Amino acid sequence: PLVLGIETSCDETGVGIVRGHTLLANTIASSMHEHARFGGVVPEVASRAHLEAMTPVVEGALAEAGLTFSDIDAIAVTAGPGLAGALLVGVAAAKSYSLGLGVPLYGVNHLAAHVAVDQLEHGPLPKPCIAMLVSGGHSSLLLVPDVAQDVISLGSTVDDAAGEAFDKVARVLGLPFPGGPYIDRAAREGSATAIGFPRGKMDDGTLDFSFSGLKTAVARWVEAQESVHVPDVAASFQEAVVDVLTRKALQACKKYDVKDLLIGGGVAANSRLRALAQERCDKAGVRLRVPRPGLCTDNGAMVAALGSDLVAAGITPSALDIPADSSMPVTTVHV
Ligand code: ATP
Ligand code: MG
Ligand code: FE
């Protein structure tokens, strides 16, 4: 079946179309240029931009796939978590398409979709696998027996998300918002061992993370300097983040005796995280899967991918009165 997925949880209006795990279209409009000068996403501005972008992006995805509305067999949509008003636009649009086309609706979890998307590139997920979800709003280690129906949380950040730490440190360094990609780039010219920044909760025996102490340490360090070599700070900060992330991810694999690790979410686009994870997985005999960077950040294909799994698993479609749930827990795969 052909599944059209709609994503509007933050600033991206994303529409993807898949058949099974074959990606047919992935069209995105972003309102980030409207938020950048505020140093963060402005919810009301994002909602309005989704409203304006929705129809053109859906039509763009159909054109990209060479399909028409009558070819679509099911609609999937991010029902949470995310910005309430932004989610609402996608959910309302998805309900309308579902009703108008007479096809089933699947309300899905954005975080599970960040996991499911890898299948469009690397085929079916091993059951079970360990998934590390690192994004702008979340940092979690998950045991995933079956991404279509069962996601178990093993640990998560107790304060800032990894992406949030990247964005806040970027601001301290005078880099544009969102700062993750800029830190990634700056770090390539710097030394990861130049400054010894703290690794929060590194060996505390939990699978939780903490990044706010690191963020504060970087800010204090920068404040105390006469002049700052941005690449060294970026590289040293980034190393602290990816050192903890990869270490805990492999601890999770060991603890649950799982040999397949997946990394997803926007921070999974980070080049140093990808390299260090590969190095440590090779050493531990763990197979690593990371989607290409364009599938790590928010997009519609990830929603279509999870929707496709729900269809294949025979999951009952969502009712047409499902709400948008801005704080949907990571363990709720679909509603
Ligand atoms: P969530 O998925 O938790 O709802 P989100 O959807 O806003 O949050 P994503 O789009 O998945 O987040 O990820 C965005 C985050 O990823 C931002 O914090 C951004 O800085 C970070 N990011 C993107 N590319 C990189 C990179 N190369 N290195 C580090 N961080 C990155
Ligand atoms: Mg975004
Ligand atoms: Fe996301």
Q: Is 159 among the annotated ligand-binding positions?
A: no
Alpha-carbon distance 67 to 155, whole Å? 42
- In angstroms, how far is CA 80 from the centroid of its own chain? 13
87 Cα to the center of ligand 1, angstroms: 17
267 Cα to the center of ligand 1, angstroms: 5
Q: What is the ipTM of this complex?
A: 0.98
> What per-residue confidence (pLDDT) applies to 317?
98
**In order along the chain (335 residues), what is the average pLDDT of each group of 10 residues?**
98 98 98 92 97 98 98 98 98 98 98 98 98 97 97 98 98 96 98 97 96 98 97 98 98 98 98 98 98 98 98 98 98 98
Residue with tokens 């763990």: 286
Q: Is 134 among the annotated ligand-binding positions?
A: yes
Q: Is 273 among the annotated ligand-binding positions?
A: no
Q: Is 299 among the annotated ligand-binding positions?
A: no
266 Cα to the center of ligand 3, angstroms: 6
Alpha-carbon distance 222 to 91, whole Å? 43
List CB contacts of 142: < 8 A, sequence separation 6 or more: 115, 130, 131, 132, 133, 151, 152, 153, 154, 330
Give the 3-state secondary structure of residue 247: helix
> What per-residue confidence (pLDDT) applies to 149?
95
265 Cα to the center of ligand 3, angstroms: 6
Q: Which protein residue has the closest C-alpha to ligand 1 atom 16?
A: 266
* Residues with C-beta atoms within 5 A of ion ligand 2: 10-11, 298
**Ligand nearest 290 Cα, by number?**
1
**Nearest ligand 1 atom to alpha carbon 167:** 20
CB 76 within 8 A of CB 333: no
4 Cα to the center of ligand 3, angstroms: 18
CB of 80 closer than 6 angstroms to any ligand 1 atom: no
114 Cα to the center of ligand 3, angstroms: 7
Alpha-carbon distance 246 to 242, whole Å? 6
Q: Which protein residue has the closest C-alpha to ligand 1 atom 7?
A: 136
Give the 3-state secondary structure of residue 3: strand
Give the 3-state secondary structure of residue 193: coil
CB of 78 closer than 6 angstroms to any ligand 1 atom: no
CB of 14 closer than 6 angstroms to any ligand 1 atom: no
Q: Which protein residue has the closest C-alpha to ligand 1 atom 2?
A: 135
CB of 135 closer than 6 angstroms to any ligand 1 atom: yes
CB of 325 closer than 6 angstroms to any ligand 1 atom: no
Identify any residues that bridge with 78 across adjacent strands, giving them in sequence order.
108
Tokens of 134: 């690192």
Alpha-carbon distance 287 to 104, whole Å? 35
249 Cα to the center of ligand 3, angstroms: 19
Rounded to two decimals, the pTM is: 0.97
**Nearest ligand 1 atom to alpha carbon 41:** 7
CB of 179 closer than 6 angstroms to any ligand 1 atom: yes
